Structure 1
Amino acid sequence: MKKKLLFVCLGNICRSPSAEAVMNGYLKLNMLDDDYTCDSAGTGGWHAGERADSRMRTHAAKRDYDLTSIARQFNPKTDFDEFDLIIGMDPQNVADLEGMARNQEDLNKISSMTDYCIRYTHYNSVPDPYYGGSDGFELVLDILEDACEGLLKQIDR
């Protein structure tokens, strides 16, 4: 049975779909895509039904990541049961997820993306690039590549 990973940010149009795409890329590269499945969601539903932010898609495409997911809101009634690991992009996302947890089992599934960083250990969040410039989108991808590499090492034991 495939292990299921869910990446969560605020609106599900920049950071979490990028984390999903980067992790899918790493899983495929390491021939583990048959063992894991990835999805993404937002704690808010403002962008539900939309594609990822066009700027994020452009920056990701330069690194050969294809952001294909459609934004959706996190659903505590089903997502805690559906996913094995639920990873928030920043402390507020993690706190929001913890606030939706129904029990200790749900809480045990929640972690922070930067917990898995190997090189970018000085960051406690994947910063939201939405209101910034190109550098912000590149930094998001840098941190996500690092964190996904660390996550892969942790789950592939």
Structure 2
Amino acid sequence: MDILFVCLGNICRSPAAEAIMKEKLGQLGMAAADVTVDSAGIGSWHEGQLPDRRMRSHGADRGYDISSRARQIRREDFERFDYIFGMDHENMADLRRLARTDEERGKILCAADFMTRHPGYDTVPDPYYCGADGFELALDLIEDACDGIIARLFPDTRPHDTRHNA
């Protein structure tokens, strides 16, 4: 199974989701050979850069290695990935616009739709222009979304968030 997380520039939310999902799947004993997790951005502005230093720092405080290099979503991603998770409504609209077929559009899901512990949120807000609280909130929401995604895609597993209680 191949999973892709997408946000605007691929330097905050989607690389955090990639790292969190990889960590959670690893804790469940799932190997990278079983599930590929990647991230991308709608835009190319940050291509090749590390994630935002604030996201890396806040993630490291929770034990996550958020260090993938930014890249822009590519045409072949719609063919390669089984699931493409957008982080907010704008990302979702952009992804739907980029998809060429109903099959490709069917792969696009909103990560926030899988959250169970944060009923007041229907997206993962972009923390880029926020302070520390924005990054902590984004991580809380992404952890929640990843747990929900795992519960839906891998129902025989039981994810446990041992790092941070929301």
Q: CA RMSD in A?
A: 0.7
2:96 to 82, 95, 98: 98
Residue 79 of structure 1 and its aligned partner are, at CA, apart by 0.4
| Runs of 4+ more than 4 Å apart | none
The more displaced of 4-13 and 30-39 is 30-39
Q: Structure 1, residues 93-115: CA drift from partner, whole Å, max 9, x if none?
A: 00100001110000010000101
CA positional deviation for 1:121:
2.2
- The one-letter code of the counterpart of 1:133 is G
- Whether the 8 Å CA contact 1:114–1:121 is kept in 2: the answer is no
Of 118-127 and 128-137, deviating more is 118-127
Residue number in structure 2 paired with 1:41: 40
Structure 1: stretches of 5+ with no match in the other structure: none
Contact 1:4 1:83 in 2 (8 A): yes
Do 1:24 and 1:38's aligned partners in 2 also have CA atoms closer than 8 Å? yes
Question: In percent, how many aligned pairs have the same letter?
Answer: 51
Q: Does 2:122 align with 1:124? A: yes
SS of residue matched to 1:32:
coil
- Given residue 27 of structure 2, which amino acid in structure 1 is its aligned partner? L
Query: 1:151 maps to what in 2?
Result: 149
Amino acid at match of 2:103: E
Question: What are the equivalent positions in structure 2 for 1:30-109 lying under 5 Å apart?
Answer: 30-33=28-31, 34-75=33-74, 77-109=75-107
| Bigger helix fraction | 1
Counting only pairs closer than 5 Å after superposition, residues 132-147 of structure 1 correspond to structure 2 as 132-147=130-145
The alignment partner of 2:6 has SS state of strand
- Name the SS of the counterpart of 1:39 in structure 2: strand
- State the partner residue of 2:22: 24
Contact 1:45 1:72 in 2 (8 A): yes
| Distance (Å, rounded) in 2 between the aligned partners of 1:81 and 1:31 | 27
Deviation at 1:122?
Answer: 1.6
Q: Distance in 2 between matches of 1:122 and 1:32?
A: 31
Query: Secondary structure of the equivalent of 2:136?
Result: helix
TM-score, reference length from structure 1:
0.96
